[in-house]
């Protein structure tokens, strides 16, 4: 299932308080393409039958996707309190928000356009890849923006597991900027 876009995959790890043995690995990547659009992808290797997968829906904006299996990307400049959050559901629903500070001043990002939203699944892996245009990303082009890639994985036994590049506190918190340990890659630079 690997493709050329998978060359900058980063491993996500479960928060120590929410392990999920059914997941063998979860990797992700995010970057800006040549036109400044966002590319993001997630690959889960797991016993897929032990994970709750939201039913397929039209590609449309929706809220509260994090209440079940969902993949997320946070983007911020290191010297700013502001940050962006993007959510991508296996249902093909998505969301995009801006924040003025830590969990404050949340507002929907306007003028976001999903260009592609691809999902693939085989016996033991699931892949989600999305490309979108968002004017809110333009200030990040050519800059060393910090990112957090994360996932909420709901187990079929009703447990929830939280995955991220880093977990800086004793409870899962994807909004904690200490967990923004990745760098937004400009595809023209790779």
Give the C-alpha separation, 64 to 132, whole Å.
20
What's the burial of 97, exposed, middle or buried (CB within 10 Å: 0-12/13-18/19+)? Answer: middle
Contact predicate 170/19, CB 8 Å: no
The pTM of this model reads 0.93
User: pLDDT tens for residues 95-116?
Assistant: 999 999 999 999 999 989 999 9
Residue 2 pLDDT > 60: no
Domain ranges of the chain: 4-189
**Phi–psi pair at 13, nearest 5 degrees:** -125, 150
pLDDT digits over 17-70, tens only? 999 999 999 999 999 887 778 999 999 999 999 999 999 999 999 999 999 999
Domain at 4-189, CATH from 3.40.50.620, 3.30.70.890, 2.60.40.1190, 3.40.920.10: 2.60.40.1190
Q: What CA–CA distance (Å, rounded) separates 44 from 84?
A: 24
């Amino acid at each position: 299932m690997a493709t050329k876009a998978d060359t900058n995959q980063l491993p996500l790890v479960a928060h120590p308080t929410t392990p999920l043995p059914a997941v063998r690995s979860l990797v992700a990547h995010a970057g800006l393409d040549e036109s400044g659009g966002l590319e993001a992808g997630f690959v889960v290797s797991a016993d897929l039958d032990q994970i709750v997968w939201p039913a397929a829906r039209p590609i449309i904006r929706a809220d509260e996707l994090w209440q079940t299996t969902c993949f997320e990307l946070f983007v911020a400049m290191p010297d700013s309190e502001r940050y962006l959050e993007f959510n991508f559901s296996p249902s093909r629903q998505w969301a995009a928000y801006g924040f003025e500070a830590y969990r404050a001043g949340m507002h929907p990002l306007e003028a976001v356009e999903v260009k592609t939203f691809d999902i693939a699944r085989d016996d033991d892996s699931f892949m989600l890849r999305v490309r979108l245009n968002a004017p809110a990303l333009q200030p990040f082009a050519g800059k060393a923006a910090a990112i957090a890639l994360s996932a909420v994985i709901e187990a079929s036994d009703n447990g929830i597991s939280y995955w991220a590049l880093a977990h800086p506190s004793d409870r899962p918190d994807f909004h904690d900027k200490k967990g923004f340990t990745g760098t937004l890659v400009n595809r023209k630079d790779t």
